[in-house]
Structure 1
Amino acid sequence: MKLPSAAVAASLVCLIVAPVFAQTAAPSAAPGTVPVPAAKRVTCLATTASLKGQDKRDQMQLCMAQARIDCLKQAIDQKVVGETRKSFIKTCVGGDATEQH
């Protein structure tokens, strides 16, 4: 398993993608909430890039589950509720929040 190179790749992707997302104006989920860049999916893709087959699918699923948990924690901290929370998490993760790979 080439985990260190995957971590380096993920770091590079974050360094490249973060400024792009920072420049785009994301719609605010609710008054008082902080827009969150949708780079978590990109990070998961980068960290699993060196893996193949079932290992890649398993790691991608774990990474996306952790991303959803992180986004849920942000939504709770910002007191986002209801449909707005669902939309917030989807935007935060960077795609369909219920999608499994």
Structure 2
Amino acid sequence: MIILYHPCQETIDNINSYYDNADKIYAFDNTEQQAILKDQLLLQTKISYHHNGKNEGIAKWLNEAANLVVADGFDWLLLMDQDSGFTKPMIKNYLQSFH
């Protein structure tokens, strides 16, 4: 899951750094107006975009993500911010540490 606030193109690049290794990405947009990049985010089929027009902080979306992950039958939840990404070796090593 990723929490967005006025995301920029770099945010898309960061999401793409782990996109292929995720089954689903829950994107929660804390921006008051919908993100300019919303359409670009929605082109990626694994992204579930959520926006309510309010900046209600991080905890609300963390709880919402936890509920969605359980409802969707996932065992793990990776928490990301829009400024963070992975290099290919880093994500591979990270995921291998869980198997």
**Normalising by structure 2, what TM-score?**
0.34
- Structure (1/2) with the larger helix percentage: 1
Q: Kindly name which structure, 1 or 2, has the bigger radius of gyration based on alpha carbons.
A: 1
- Structure (1/2) with the larger strand percentage: 2
